[in-house]
Amino acid sequence: MEACGICGTDARTFFNGDPKAPPPWQLGHEPVGVLESVGPDAVLPSGISVGDRVFLGSILTCGTCRWCVEGFQNLCEHHLLYGYDPYPGAYAEFAAVPPIATKNLIGLPPELPSDLATVADPFACALNGIEQLDVRLGDGVMIVGTGPIGCWQAVMARDRGAGRVYMTDVSSERLKVATDAVGHLIDDAWVAGDDNGVGELLSRTDGDGVERVSVAAPAKAGQQAALEMAAKRAKIVYFAGLPKHDPVSPLDMNELHYKELSILGAYGATHRQYRITMDYLDRRQDDLARVVTHRFPLDRIAEAFETIRSGTGLKMVILP
């Protein structure tokens, strides 16, 4: 192990528990490391060999169901997640790669730092959301939620030719951290007030709204606000899922009906998106590395989780 990012899923599990991570359990599913040894029956991807520096995609798939065969591995009927039962994760000096995961190994570009390479997993998921959003040249884009996902989606929306990119968050502290990282690539950002940021967005667009909205925060209020922020015939992607014990969101369906909106979901990432991400991270290091705000050795991992909870940073990376 050289580096392993902390995912929001890891943080929820650390603080709230998860039946698929029965304590004592080893989390960590955004790993980068050197392939130290390989068993005699292991089947490695083409071009990967012992001694290579690699990233491991966390969504473990069967490779044979309809969705895997059609290239939508994120929707695999039998998918598992590395770092959860039955496969321990990578917050360790050495981490095992089970047979089901070997096809997820991707070699790293030589100049890509390991701490930045760890974000390939969540970044590929953010890319999936942006591809669903289908940003066109000149579109106005609203990003609701300014965590790492929202920041990366803002960068990608700009790269895809968005005319205006806006961001909003309920936390002024988190918004400041985000604008420190990607503020030079967005047009404006504000703290969402009682109306969840709708008024500020409409005031900047002469009441029209924007053509594309990504909800990158697990919040029902943000999902409803997206409908109000959207222009007629706009596309909205609900990227962040809601808690499994409370997944039903009250939405104004007349906004959907009378404005002819398209609401889409986005979950996980495909092998193609992982490969695209690795090249993108290598080419855009200067901008994307800003989102990795904290790095901790393994013996300070508890401090890393507390930093996430405090909202004073974006992406945490553990360096074993």
136-165 residue pLDDT tens: 999 999 999 999 999 999 999 999 999 999
pLDDT at residue number 90: 97
Confidence tier at 174 by pLDDT (50, 70, 90): very high
Architecture of the domain made up of 128-264: 3-Layer(aba) Sandwich (3.40)
Give the end-to-end CA distance of the chain in Å, rounded to a whole number. Answer: 6
Provide CATH 3.90.180.10 ranges for the chain.
3-122+269-319
Confidence tier at 237 by pLDDT (50, 70, 90): very high
My answer on whether omega of the bond before 122 falls inside 30° of 0, hence cis, is: no
Confidence tier at 195 by pLDDT (50, 70, 90): very high
Task: Let me know: does 165 contact 143? Beta carbons within 8 Å.
Answer: yes
Task: Let me know: does 154 contact 180? Beta carbons within 8 Å.
Answer: no
Confidence tier at 244 by pLDDT (50, 70, 90): confident
Decide: residue 82, CB within 10 A, 0-12 exposed, 13-18 middle, 19+ buried: buried
**What's the average model confidence in pLDDT over 28-47?**
95
For residue 109 the two structure tokens come to 């570009």
The CATH code of domain 3-122+269-319 reads 3.90.180.10
Q: Provide CB contacts within 8 A for 278, sequence distance 6+.
A: 55, 106, 108, 109, 112, 117, 120
- pTM score of the predicted model: 0.94
Phi then psi for 121, rounded to 5 degrees?
Answer: -70, -60
Provide CATH 3.40.50.720 ranges for the chain.
128-264
Task: Let me know: does 50 contact 35? Beta carbons within 8 Å.
Answer: yes
Edge-to-edge strand ranges of the sheet holding 230-238? 188-191, 164-169, 140-144, 210-215, 230-238, 262-265
pLDDT at residue number 243: 82
Helix (H) or strand (E) holding 117: helix 114-117
